[in-house]
């Protein structure tokens, strides 16, 4: 029974390596003549067909490390047809069978966690420890999905009318797609496909073309775990692939995580083509720091939340609002002290605490905003521009940067920048700080640092954000809760993973039934409770 998945796994390993001999990412030197191509995974096998190719960089060196196939509409159609063909058998498989596959996948993923992490570091740039943490958080969703037999239980009522009973069920949608961002190439897809598969759907992943390799390794492990061919596919690519998924008549639902303008486009296009959609957008996550907070604890938490993964997290703290001038000056000094002490270097170096940004464009976007903030009147309390890492002079590095005296009119506050740039704002009171946060168009996450339980309770009740931390800087929910924001950070009604994830990937059916004791004449009357 396992021969076919194992054969697919061997093919995938050869495909990922790009040649018969296996070479580690740490020791591989690549020249333009031996660049491997990261391709698709369609109908249970690797597929390198491509009319167009894109570059995948090593952010630490700035060099092109491999190529990625950019799918055509025809490639997407092949994946969708394979998914549609596989759906009837997979959706009718027992919950026990689906759970067995997920348990097997969980074991494989746990064993190869470091392999996935190294791929992420090589293409995204984040440190290995950060990459390992990403995979571990995704693994938690897989473990949650292993409880699908409990999660899919319906409800029932007996004797709603004489000898009439009613029951409800959740059933899979069909073919669903996930379009995921570069900043978490393993975790964000795992927010989606474990539950989608557990619920009985076929799933097509369109990962970011900036760091595509982790997606193929996950596909390989799913095949090795016994997932039937066609149930999970990967199509690499750009907007061509995205639009093909959004408009394909055989795709029933789309999940997305990315920037707000793209999230709005995804949601509007998908729903216009009759699809269910959830699109998680951008963020400007705030931390409100009150004068009674432990400022050393707050500074530690804020520096970690702002500069971890080079600030390329949708839950990164990017704006701090301090109440009181004395609090502002002291906290800014403490945050700058901690940020200045961070070791910035290649993600594969165990000594590095912060790696490079993912692309040269991402690096230049950050430095441009720093200059713009300075022009608009902000004070550069810590300047990360011009950072040079020895031996990696062409890498996409920006050091931790802190702008003080920022106001709400400045572009560095209004815009999502997605880099190691923290802005510091001032408020005269708790209410003024809370109002400032609530006036922001984003509502992904928000945190408060205080020793006052009453203020914390007021904050959690009134703040207009989907995820709230109290003395916790990055309040990312565990897998059994759902992840998602409010306002311009979410388009759609349901968040990802947790109970809402199960609801998104299924639809309800209510059955009303009566079994007469003996044959009766036909009754055309409407049933009542009599």
Active-site residue among 38, 314, 319, 502?
Answer: 314
146 is catalytic: no
Kindly provide the b/e burial profile for residues 56-76, where b requires at least 16 CB atoms within 10 angstroms of the residue's own CB: bbbbbbbeebbbbbbbbeebb
CB within 8 A of 392, min separation 6: which ones? 60, 61, 62, 345, 346, 356
Phi, psi of 274 (to 5 degrees): 80, 20
Geometric angle at alpha carbon 442, from 439 and 448, rounded to 5°: 75
Closest CA relative to residue 220, chosen from 1, 9, 42? 9
CB 302 within 8 A of CB 268: no
Give the integer Cα–Cα distance in Å for 504 and 494. 6
* H-helix or E-strand spanning residue 486: strand 486-487
* H-helix or E-strand spanning residue 103: helix 95-111
**Total residues belonging to the chain:** 530
On the 0-12 / 13-18 / 19+ scale of CB atoms within 10 A, 81 is: middle
Strands 276-280 and 490-491: antiparallel
Closest CA relative to residue 383, chosen from 409, 356, 401, 357? 401
Give the integer Cα–Cα distance in Å for 17 and 27. 13
* DSSP per position, 45-70: EEE---SEEEEEEETTTTEEEEEEEE
Catalytic site positions: 314
């Amino acid at each position: 029974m396992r021969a076919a998945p194992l054969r697919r796994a061997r093919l995938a390993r050869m495909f990922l390596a790009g040649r018969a001999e296996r070479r580690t990412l740490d020791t591989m030197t690549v020249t333009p003549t031996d660049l491997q191509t990261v391709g698709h995974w369609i109908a249970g096998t690797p597929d390198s067909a491509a009319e167009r190719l894109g570059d995948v960089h090593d952010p630490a060196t700035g060099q092109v490390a491999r190529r990625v196939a950019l799918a055509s509409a025809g490639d997407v159609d092949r994946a969708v047809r394979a998914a549609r063909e596989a759906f009837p058998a997979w959706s009718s498989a027992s919950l026990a069978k689906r759970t067995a596959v997920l348990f097997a996948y969980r074991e494989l993923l746990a064993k190869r966690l470091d392999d996935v992490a190294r791929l992420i570091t090589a293409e995204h740039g984040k440190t290995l420890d950060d990459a390992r943490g990403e995979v571990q958080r995704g693994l938690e969703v897989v473990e949650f999905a292993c409880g699908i037999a409990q999660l899919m239980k319906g409800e029932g009522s007996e004797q709603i009318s004489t000898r009439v009973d009613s029951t409800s069920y959740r059933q899979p949608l069909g073919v669903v797609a996930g379009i995921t961002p570069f900043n978490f190439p393993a975790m964000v897809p795992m927010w989606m496909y474990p539950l989608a598969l557990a619920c009985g759907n076929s799933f097509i992943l369109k990962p970011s073309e900036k760091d595509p390799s982790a997606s193929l390794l996950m596909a390989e492990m799913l095949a090795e775990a016994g997932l039937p061919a066609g149930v999970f596919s990967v199509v690499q690519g750009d907007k061509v692939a995205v639009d093909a998924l959004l408009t394909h008549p055989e795709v029933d639902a789309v999940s997305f995580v990315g920037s707000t303008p793209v999230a709005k486009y995804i949601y509007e296009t998908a729903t216009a083509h009759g699809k269910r959609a959830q699109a998680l957008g951008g963020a400007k996550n705030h931390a409100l720091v009150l004068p009674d907070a432990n400022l050393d604890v707050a500074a530690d938490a804020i520096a970690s939340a702002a500069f971890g993964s080079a600030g390329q997290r949708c839950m990164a703290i990017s704006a701090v609002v301090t109440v009181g001038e004395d609090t502002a000056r002291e906290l800014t000094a403490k945050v700058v002290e901690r940020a200045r002490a961070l070791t910035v270097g290649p993600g594969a170096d165990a000594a590095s605490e912060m790696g490079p940004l993912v692309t040269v464009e991402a690096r230049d976007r950050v430095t441009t905003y720093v200059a713009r903030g300075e022009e608009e009147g902000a004070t550069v309390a810590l300047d990360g521009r011009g950072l040079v890492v020895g031996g990696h002079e062409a890498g996409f590095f920006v050091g931790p940067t802190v702008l003080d005296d920022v106001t709400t009119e400045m572009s560095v506050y209004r815009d999502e920048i997605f880099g190691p740039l923290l802005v510091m704002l001032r408020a005269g009171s708790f209410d003024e700080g809370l109002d400032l946060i609530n006036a922001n168009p984003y509502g992904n996450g928000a945190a408060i640092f205080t020793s006052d339980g009453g203020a914390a309770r007021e904050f959690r009740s009134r703040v207009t954000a989907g995820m709230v931390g109290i003395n916790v800087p990055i309040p990312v929910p565990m897998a059994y809760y759902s992840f998602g924001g409010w306002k311009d950070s979410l388009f759609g009604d349901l968040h990802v993973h947790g109970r809402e994830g199960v609801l998104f990937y299924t639809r309800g059916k209510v059955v009303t039934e009566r079994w007469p004791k003996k044959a009766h004449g036909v009754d055309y009357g409407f049933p009542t409770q009599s």
